[in-house]
Structure 1
Amino acid sequence: MTISYCSQKKRKNRERQIQLENLIRVTEELIIDNIDPNHILVEILTDLKSELEDLRENQMNGLLIRAKAQWIESGEKPTKYFCNLEKHQSPTPIILMAYFRSGSSFVGDIIQAHEGVFYLFEPLRSHTTRFKLLNHTSPQSISRFRNKTESIQTHLSRCELNKVPSGILRDMFLNRSKKARQYNLCIHDHANKKYDHKKTCLQKLLQSCMGSEVMLIKVIRLSFSILLKLLETIPKLKVIYLQRDPRAMARARVHFGMIRKKTEIEDVTNFCYRLNDDAKVAEKIKQKYPERIMSLFYEEVAYHPVIEAQRIYKFAGLKFGRRQEDIITAMTTTPTPEKECRKMCTTKVSSKQAEEWRKTTPLKFVHVVDQCCRQYYQRIGYKDIPNLHLLQDLHFKLRFPHT
C-alpha cells in the first residue's frame, strides 16, 4: 500500500513538473513577444518558477533521506558521513560588499587570481533589475523582494546553484568569472546538444563550485540589514567590505545618470546617507563577528596590490604564492589601450586609475559631496578638499592614516 502511494505521488509530481516547465516556457515566450513589459505575466512567471523550485527542493530532500537510509542498512551512521561530506565539499563563502564604481571588479579579479576561488560577478543584478522595472512600492512587495534576495544569497553561499532563478546563471555578467563562464560555454556548445545537456552543464558547474576553496560573491545590490541576517544563519560566511572615496563614486554616478543636475543635492545626500548607514551596520558586525568581516579601501589596493592581496588571501584562508603575485603584478602594472578597455576594465595601471577622477571633477561638485557626506567622512576619516590645487595634487592624501 505504501509503495503504491509513493509511486502514485512520484508520478503526479513528475507530471506537475513537466506541466510547470511547459508553462514557464510558454510564459517566457509571451513576455519576450510583448514590446511593453506585461507585469501580470511577469508575476505569473515568478509564481510558476517558485513552485517549480519548491518541487525540485522536495525531490532533493527525498533523495537525501533515501541516501541516509541506505547508509543505515549498510551498517553506517549517516550523521557523521554527511557532516564530513559537507565539511570536505563546502567552500568558504565570502561576500564582496561594494558599491557602483567602487573598484569591485578590480578587487574581484585579484581574488580570483587564485585557482581555488569560484567567483560570481553581481549575481543579484537580474533579480534586482526586474524588481525595479516592476516599480513595486508596497510594503508587501518590498518584503517579498527582500526575503527572495536573502533566499537567493543563501543558496549562492552554499553553492546551491540549482536552487536559484535560472536568469542568474544566464546573465552575461557570469562571463566575468573564470570558472562560472564555463556554464554558458557549455549550454551553447552546439556539438554537445543532447536532451539533458543543460542539466549536465549545471552539474559540472555545481561540481566546480563545491570543489573550490572559496565561493566569492561580488554584490553591489545587497543591503547590510540582509547581510547581517546572512551572517547569523551561515556560520562560515565572511564579508569583505570594500569602500572608495565617495567623491570618485559620486562623479561616476553623474556620468551614468544616477545623480542628475536638477536633483543633485538630493541625490548626493541620499547616496551619502546610504554610505554612512552601511558603515554603522558594518561597525556592529565588526563588534559581533570580528573575525568574519574585513574592511578594504580601493585606493590602498590600487597603490599596493600585492600587499593588500596577501592580506585578503589570509582573511579568505587562501595561500598566496608566486603565481598569484605574478598575475596580480601584471594585471596592475600593464597599461591597456583605451579602445581595448571596456567600462569595467581591470588591466590598466591601477595606481593611476584610482586617482583619474581628481583631474576632471569640478571643484564645485567636490564641495557638494564634502558637505553631504560630512558624517560619513568623520566616521571613515576622509578629508575635505578646500581648493583646486589640493584636488589635483596627487601627493595630498584624501584620508587620514590609520582610520
Structure 2
Amino acid sequence: MTLVLGYMRSGSSLTADIIRCNHGDFYIFEPLHGLIELSIKQNSPVRFLNGTRVRIAQDDRNINNMMADMLYNWFTCDFRQIDLLSLSNEFIHIFTPEHDTYFNCLRGLRMKSALIRTIDKCLHILEERCKIANSRIYKTIRLPMASVSKLLERLPSLKVVHLIRDPRAILQSQLVEGLADKIKFSNISNLTCTQMRNDVINMKSLVVNYPGRLQRLVYENLAVHPIEVSKKLYNFLNARFDRNVEGFVNYLTTGPVSKCNYCTNRGNSSYNAFKWMKTIRPTYHRIVDQHCREIYREIGYRQLSFYDLKSKKNTWNPNAYQRSVSL
C-alpha cells in the first residue's frame, strides 16, 4: 500500500505514474476530492450508500480525521463506507481511465435511477478490481501530514511518499494554470508554505515513530535524475525495478517537451521542472520569498535574487542531512 502526499502542481502525477507503472495495481488519482467539495459547503451532508447522512463539523481536526478514515476505507476496499460524491466523482473518469468500466456503468444507469441505487449496482466492479490488485496506490494533495499517523497505525503495510517541490515552482504553475487568484496571491503563498512547513515538522516525528515507512521525495531531484531516484523509490517501496519499469520512466521523462500541462509524459522532465524560473514575475517571486524562506532552508532550496534565477539550472542544493532524508 502506498500513499503519495503532495501539493497542487507539485509533480505528483508524474511520481504516482512512476510508482504504478506495474500492471495489476489499483490506483485512484484523488480519492478525497468529493469529500473536500462537500466540506466547503456547510449545508451539504456527506451521504453514504446505506442512506446515512453526516454533516461535517467546520473545524480542521474533524475534517482531517474524516479524510483519514475515508482513505482507510479506500485502502481496505471498503467502498460502501465511502461518501457517494467521491465514488461518482469525474476525477475517476478523467485521471484514471483504467476504471472506465466502472464509470461507464455509473453513467449508463444515472439517468434511470437515484445515485445510491446506481452506485450500488456498479460498485462491485471497483471492489473486485481493488481486492485482486497487487498493490493499492492513492495520491492526494489534500491530506495533511498530521493525519497520516492514524493511517500508519491502522495499516501496518502502508508506505508514505511525501512529495516536495520548490514552492516558487508550485505557485507559479498555479498562476499559469489559473488555479491561484492573482489578487489573493500573497494569502495563497502564505497558506501553501504554512501547510508545507507543518507537514515537514510533523513528518520528523512520524519518521521516528514509524521508521522505514515514510520518505521525502524532492521533485527536482526526480526530474534531473529520473532513473537513479526511481530506483531508490522502488527500493523504499520494496518493489522490483526492472527493464520494463526503466523503459517506462524514460518514456515519461525524456523526449520533446509537450505543451500538455496535465499530461504525465510531457517530455524533458528537467526542463519542465525548472521552466518556471524563466517565466515568474518579480512581484510574485518576491511574495513567495517572503512567505517561504523557512521551507527553502528546511529542504535545501537556494534563495536567489530574481535576476540570478536566469543563470541557474537547478534550485535544489541540499546539505548532507537534507540529502540523507530525501530520495
Coarse TM-score class (shorter-chain normalised): 0.7 to 0.9
Structure 2 counterpart of 1:352, which letter? Y
1:296 deviates by 0.2
Equivalent residue number for residue 47 of structure 2 = none
Q: Counterparts of 1:163 and 1:345 in 2: how far apart (Å)? A: 31
Find 2:42's aligned residue among 107, 112, 134. 134
Find 2:136's aligned residue among 186, 192, 215. 215
Q: Is 1:355–2:263 an aligned residue pair?
A: no
Find 1:173's aligned residue among 91, 106, 112. 91
Equivalent residue number for residue 183 of structure 1 = 102
1:139 deviates by 9.6
Q: Counterparts of 1:306 and 1:181 in 2: how far apart (Å)? A: 31
1:188 deviates by 4.4
Q: Structure 1 stretches (4+) deviating beyond 6 angstroms?
A: none
Unaligned runs of 5+ in 2: 45-54, 323-327
1:141 deviates by 3.0
What is the percent sequence identity of the aligned residues?
28
Structure 2 counterpart of 1:152, which letter? M
Structure 2 counterpart of 1:319, which letter? R
Larger radius of gyration: 1
1:144 deviates by 4.3
Q: Is 1:118–2:26 an aligned residue pair?
A: yes
Structure 1 counterpart of 2:206, which letter? I
Equivalent residue number for residue 54 of structure 1 = none
Equivalent residue number for residue 8 of structure 1 = none
Equivalent residue number for residue 380 of structure 1 = 299
SS across alignment from 1:368: helix
Equivalent residue number for residue 15 of structure 2 = 107
Preserved CA contact (<8 Å) 2:32 2:140: yes
* CA-to-aligned-CA distance 1:343-388 (integer Å, 9 cap, x gap): 4211112111111111100234223222321222222111111241
Q: Counterparts of 1:198 and 1:126 in 2: how far apart (Å)? A: 15
Equivalent residue number for residue 271 of structure 1 = 192
Change in 2 beyond 3 A, CA 1:255/1:187 = same
Q: Is 1:308–2:308 an aligned residue pair?
A: no
Q: Is 1:151–2:72 an aligned residue pair?
A: no
Change in 2 beyond 3 A, CA 1:354/1:369 = same
Find 1:398's aligned residue among 302, 316, 321. 316
Q: Counterparts of 2:248 and 2:236 in 1: how far apart (Å)? A: 19
1:298 deviates by 1.0
1:396 deviates by 4.8
Structure 1 counterpart of 2:311, which letter? D
Change in 2 beyond 3 A, CA 1:135/1:242 = farther
Structure 1 counterpart of 2:262, which letter? M
1:209 deviates by 1.3
1:295 deviates by 0.7
Preserved CA contact (<8 Å) 1:214 1:316: no
Preserved CA contact (<8 Å) 1:99 1:220: yes
Instruction: Give the number of aligned pairs.
Output: 303
Structure 2 counterpart of 1:101, which letter? R
Larger helix fraction of residues: 1
Preserved CA contact (<8 Å) 1:359 1:392: yes
1:145 deviates by 3.0
Q: Counterparts of 1:197 and 1:140 in 2: how far apart (Å)? A: 28
Q: Counterparts of 2:90 and 2:256 in 1: how far apart (Å)? A: 25
1:103 deviates by 0.3
